[in-house]
Structure 1
Amino acid sequence: MNKLLNCALSAATWLTLCVSSTAYAQWFESTGHANIQNDDIARAKSVAIKDAITQALVFSGARVTSMQTLVDGVLTQDQLKINSHGEIQKIEMISEDRRGDQFAVTLRLDIFPQQEQCPASSFNKFVAITQTQLKHREQAKLGQIFDINKASSENLYKTLSNSPISTRPTAYFNFPIRVGEFFTQQYDYSNALLEEIASRSNSQYVLLSQLVDISNSEKLNNDYAFWQDESYQRAYNIDFVLFDGTTYERLWQKSYRGKGIWPFEKTELIDVYSENFWGSDYGQTITDINQTLSYDLQAAMACLETQGKILHIENGKLVINLGKAHGIEKGQILNIAHHNYLTDAAGNKMPNMITTLNQVQIQQVYQQSAIAQSIDKQPLPNIQINDVVELANLAL
């Protein structure tokens, strides 16, 4: 039975793996870091502790789903769910340190990982981070934060980029897209748009999102207390959905709800790219949600296959859009598959992947691409550009 603990989220962590002397246990020493906002040491310490725990779990192969319960910076409630790949036996605090506006906590964790792991978890998956869309633009009037969708998407991209996980982001947040149809239950979204995003960003997966509520509530301070600055509580509610850019399948969907104090004056124009904004309680609320999403996305994508496409064919050799960044190595064997659709009685299209008997071996590897050749160096029959390549050992 898994031991339940609270999970932490932060940007940067240094992690050292140490194997214990026993046959089954491994111990991990991890250092979690956090920025100190508004001289709030307690909060920074909690974030650093949570960061260290989460990074150790991810590094050990555990799949983590986190829910935060914090009171005065102390982990007070067992809320971390570890899904099937690891079990924490013991946590010890080794040290804590403050340097300038950074707080660091080093922990030692005894983890008993289970033997069963998905082979796909050792390969990197690239996901396009698209520009989130404001569902109700009029809600951005307070502070004139009409670019909050772009700024929050960029923040998410940076969060994923700084996390040592196998989910690798690609930037697609500078292009406005209509996402409303992707959040309906009718499955009437545009496959062409998903394919375009996946192709232009060279990503197998596409993450879409929409900001459903950024409205403000009533003032928190009293109107009679004229000496106090105005402050409001403001919502940050956002929906995410993950698609496979090759099969167009909806793979994962989740909503996040948060509130933060909006400390700025009602008539003040706010730069959503400024330190003033991101250092506020509301900005930190967005950052916390993006941190939580980054680990939820890691859990959702850990066992998804890494697939690529054929970009060019010449003299029995193939150029594919997978490379070192994806975990591809020279000598690996790939299967080739055709991608088409089946149509059911109701007219709904269902993805259908047909794996052929053709196999190729990686000959040269670059960062984002590789060259493969048929194993027997014979021509590959019925192979076309945009056909799918997949690792042979994962396709069995």
Structure 2
Amino acid sequence: MFRFLLFLLYILSTNVYAQWIEGQASVAVEDAELDEIRVMAIKNAIADAAYKNGSFITAQDIVLDGLLVSSKAQIRTQGRIQRVEIVDETLIDNVLTVTVNVDILPLFECDSDPYTRSLVLSQFQLLKPSQARHGNIFDFGRQVTQRMAQQLTDNQPVVDTLLINQAFMPTSDFNSIDHSQIAAKASLLVKTYHRQYVLFGFIRDISLFEQVKEGLLEDDVSLRRNFTLEVYLLDALHQDIVMQNSYHGEGDWEFDYNETIDLNNSLFWRSDFGRVVLNTINSAVLDVSNTMTCLPSMLPVVSVTPGYLSIALGTRHGVKEGDLFELYQSPQPSMEAQLHYPQWYKQPDLILEVEHVANRSAKLRSSDKNVPLIAAPYDLVSPAPLM
């Protein structure tokens, strides 16, 4: 088996179930470089899978960009394809044949507003820190979180990510996550960061194991390492976990048992295990982005002045002057009650219009002078539906 490419392109993802389609292509090597032929064969195999699914994507539509990784490759293109797994690659009689499984999103548009979602990313911790002693990678959780933030920032235009240097909850609560815990922590994050979504989780397993392949004369023993990621996406305003997934990968551990690994060195991230970690993170990031795209945008009111209110959403999130929003309020009399018992009711006669917008904030007023604006901090605003 050869090693393959990590492919990344921007798309607007949708929150629907994808389906895996098999594609295959064969290309004669002749006098060309094998790496060039491999790229061509992978492109053609992806296009073949897309065609079987009814999506007309040619090999020329697929742009490949990335580093050599393990046998899992990932791609997103044209809003239809988001992941590719190389199933098999053979070279027989100077003909390279590639078989792929392609994760294809059905063409579908959800009833979603156009604004970028605001996300708080908290630190992912090791559930079993003792597993980090092999390689002395005790900083592994922080490194994984940073790379998750980087992938969300670089490759997911629908998400505005804020990385914080704290965990959402201690590892001791992993097996007993309940609503009361979530409600208290969610209310604090809303107050502090004025963002709707929180991404948190745990690194469940980074254990080492030996993989044994029986041979004619002697067994082939390789050292491999697990990577299991538990991911939760929380709507902090509604205090609901809207996505919970577990992701697993494993790769060759190319280092000695007692060797100290520098996690800031690219040599680690170019190793087989490092590439598996990045691929696994990318799978989680794609699913988070897909989920958030079709969820409603709601923002807490940051401040109120006579006739105006402010929200933490601005031009970088797609807000423009003249955009319209609705106001939601709670029947609970206090802010604490509002945040702990989130039952919101729309003010039926009030439409808010953006009068001034900055990079990360906007000032809204009533669009009808005959309808007064009566609001309080931690009331909610949501985009008004298009008429």
What TM-score results when the alignment is normalised by the length of structure 1? Answer: 0.71
The share of aligned pairs that are identical, in percent, is 21
**What amino acid is aligned across from residue 297 of structure 2 in structure 1?**
T
**Measured at CA, do residues 317 and 132 of structure 1 come closer, stay the same or move farther in structure 2, by a change above 3 Å?**
same
Q: Residue 190 of structure 1: CA displacement? A: 3.4
Deviates most, 366-375 or 292-301: 292-301
Name which of 253, 258, 262 aligns with 1:271.
262
Matched, 1:368 2:360: yes
Which sections of structure 1, spanning at least 5 residues, go unmatched?
Answer: 1-7, 16-23, 86-116, 223-227, 342-348
Deviates most, 358-367 or 379-388: 379-388
Q: Residue 177 of structure 1: CA displacement? A: 4.2
Q: Please give the alpha-carbon distance, in whole angstroms, between the structure 2 residues aligned to 1:122 and 1:383.
A: 24
Q: Residue 306 of structure 1: CA displacement? A: 1.4
Q: Please give the alpha-carbon distance, in whole angstroms, between the structure 2 residues aligned to 1:355 and 1:136.
A: 46
**What amino acid is aligned across from residue 200 of structure 2 in structure 1?**
L
Which sections of structure 2, spanning at least 5 residues, go unmatched?
Answer: 13-54, 91-96, 215-219, 333-339
Matched, 1:31 2:22: no
SS in 2 for 1:158: helix
**Measured at CA, do residues 121 and 380 of structure 1 come closer, stay the same or move farther in structure 2, by a change above 3 Å?**
closer
Equivalent residues in 2 for 1:1-396 (5 A)?
A: 10-11=7-8, 29-36=61-68, 47=73, 50-51=74-75, 54-57=76-79, 62=80, 66=83, 68-72=85-89, 76-85=99-108, 117-120=109-112, 122-172=114-164, 174-180=165-171, 181=173, 184=176, 186-218=178-210, 232-339=223-330, 351-357=342-348, 358-377=350-369, 380=372, 382-393=374-385
SS in 2 for 1:126: strand
Q: Please give the alpha-carbon distance, in whole angstroms, between the structure 2 residues aligned to 1:352 and 1:75.
A: 54
- Counterpart contact for 1:315–1:379, Cα < 8 Å: no
| Number of the residue aligned with 1:104 | none
What number of residue pairs does the alignment pair up? 321
SS in 1 for 2:321: coil
**What amino acid is aligned across from residue 296 of structure 2 in structure 1?**
E
**Measured at CA, do residues 286 and 25 of structure 1 come closer, stay the same or move farther in structure 2, by a change above 3 Å?**
closer
- Counterpart contact for 2:6–2:65, Cα < 8 Å: no
Q: Residue 67 of structure 1: CA displacement? A: 6.4
Q: Residue 205 of structure 1: CA displacement? A: 0.5
Deviates most, 193-202 or 284-293: 193-202
- Counterpart contact for 2:9–2:77, Cα < 8 Å: no
Q: Please give the alpha-carbon distance, in whole angstroms, between the structure 2 residues aligned to 1:121 and 1:144.
A: 45
**Measured at CA, do residues 160 and 183 of structure 1 come closer, stay the same or move farther in structure 2, by a change above 3 Å?**
farther
SS in 2 for 1:165: coil
Q: CA deviation digits over 1:228-287, x for unaligned, max 9?
A: 9x9620100111011012111110110001101111111111122221211111110110
- Counterpart contact for 1:140–1:214, Cα < 8 Å: yes
- Counterpart contact for 2:9–2:155, Cα < 8 Å: yes
Deviates most, 143-152 or 330-339: 330-339
**Measured at CA, do residues 30 and 76 of structure 1 come closer, stay the same or move farther in structure 2, by a change above 3 Å?**
closer
Q: Residue 191 of structure 1: CA displacement? A: 1.9
**Measured at CA, do residues 187 and 335 of structure 1 come closer, stay the same or move farther in structure 2, by a change above 3 Å?**
same
Q: Please give the alpha-carbon distance, in whole angstroms, between the structure 1 residues aligned to 2:226 and 2:380.
A: 42
Q: Residue 153 of structure 1: CA displacement? A: 0.6
SS in 2 for 1:154: helix
- Counterpart contact for 2:324–2:351, Cα < 8 Å: yes
Q: Residue 197 of structure 1: CA displacement? A: 3.1
**What amino acid is aligned across from residue 118 of structure 2 in structure 1?**
F
**What amino acid is aligned across from residue 231 of structure 2 in structure 1?**
F
Q: Residue 77 of structure 1: CA displacement? A: 4.1
- Counterpart contact for 1:166–1:298, Cα < 8 Å: yes
**Measured at CA, do residues 146 and 285 of structure 1 come closer, stay the same or move farther in structure 2, by a change above 3 Å?**
same
SS in 2 for 1:190: helix
SS in 1 for 2:385: helix
- Counterpart contact for 1:215–1:235, Cα < 8 Å: yes
TM-align CA RMSD: 3.4
What TM-score results when the alignment is normalised by the length of structure 2? Answer: 0.73
Q: Residue 379 of structure 1: CA displacement? A: 7.2
Q: Please give the alpha-carbon distance, in whole angstroms, between the structure 2 residues aligned to 1:293 and 1:139.
A: 22
Q: Residue 9 of structure 1: CA displacement? A: 5.6
Q: Please give the alpha-carbon distance, in whole angstroms, between the structure 2 residues aligned to 1:81 and 1:335.
A: 35
Q: Residue 12 of structure 1: CA displacement? A: 5.7
Q: Please give the alpha-carbon distance, in whole angstroms, between the structure 2 residues aligned to 1:26 and 1:70.
A: 20
- Counterpart contact for 2:325–2:382, Cα < 8 Å: yes
Higher relative contact order (CA 8 A, sep 6+): 2
